[in-house]
Amino acid sequence: MAGKVVGYFRHSNHTESERDRRKRDVAEQLSRIAALLRVRTGHDFSGYKDNSILRRIQRRMQVP
């Protein structure tokens, strides 16, 4: 049983680092997108939180 508990915690730490890496990747991509939009359109989205931008993108991508 102790081995299973140790395995669980090893897996949970690995999963957490994977989530952190994905969040960091998304944040970097959103920064790049915001910079492109600022250059091309003059609109500055840098003050928006990442979750707000993602929510807006998801809503706009929905096809009625």
In order, the DSSP letters of 10-48 are HHHHHHHHHHHHHHHHHHHHHHHHHHHHHHHH----TTS
pLDDT level of residue 31 (50, 70, 90 thresholds):
very high
The number of folded domains in the chain is 1
pLDDT at 14: 64
| pTM of structure | 0.63
The residue segments making up the domain with residue 25 are 2-61
In this predicted model, what pLDDT tens digit does every residue of 13-24 receive, in sequence order?
Answer: 666 688 888 889
